[in-house]
Homo-oligomer: A and B are copies of this chain.
């Protein structure tokens, strides 16, 4: 197995977060084409739920601990729908992709991913298949059920498979210090940036940029760097997959 690349595409890139279950079909198409055009080997894709999960989860109070119910399953089905559509577009562009639904292979403890089966993922990569994960509701040892963010998945799988490259495609230019994109964040700066992001207003059921950065800082502490960039800007997914690094924010894992 060559170096594994993990690419996350945020739910806000693929869907219109302001309206429930609204696709950005043109964007989904573009992103699928960009990913397929580079043809990276040993690629794992993770996508967020966007309007196929967040508003519903909020309505059903799934962002607080609580018993597993019919609503839990509705959320699972809704985000699966987005997954199906995204996968269809990737396949149309010639990619050998399979869905991986975290509810089926992951459990958490008080909202933190505790265990994920990865043998099947390693075999998919060995067979030139691209697994496509999504944010999901999963079974939780303590709470009954929990929301699992795409970012938690990225951090976990990148660590398990010792990923060489981790890209987080969002709808912002990177991690911001006021109006300026931070080019690089080194481990020494993590504490300061955490404080900075705490005031951020962009908060969804998985915690927005503060929570995203938190996952990536933890990953960096394991020695794995990541790269936050704007996937809504044409060409940047290609640039990331091609190994360019002169855009967005690099979170340094050294």
Chain B hits for A103, CB < 8 A: 98, 120
Does residue A144 face the partner (Cβ distance < 8 Å to B)?
Answer: yes
A67 cross-chain contacts in B, Cβ below 8 A: 127
Question: Closest residue of chain B to A98, judged by CB?
Answer: B73
Contact mask for chain A residues 128-142; partner B; CB cutoff 8 A; 1 contact, 0 none = 110000000011110
Q: Main SS of chain A's interface residues?
A: mixed
Chain A interface residue number, banded: 20 to 34
Q: Mark A177-220, 1 if CB is under 8 A from B, else 0.
A: 00000000000000000000000000000000000000000000
Taking beta carbons and an 8 Å cutoff, which residues of A are in contact with B? Answer: 67-70, 73, 76, 91, 96-101, 103-107, 115, 117, 119-120, 123-124, 127-129, 138-141, 144-145
11 contacts between A and B (CB under 8 A): A73-B129, A100-B104, A101-B101, A101-B104, A107-B119, A107-B120, A115-B119, A117-B117, A119-B139, A123-B141, A127-B139
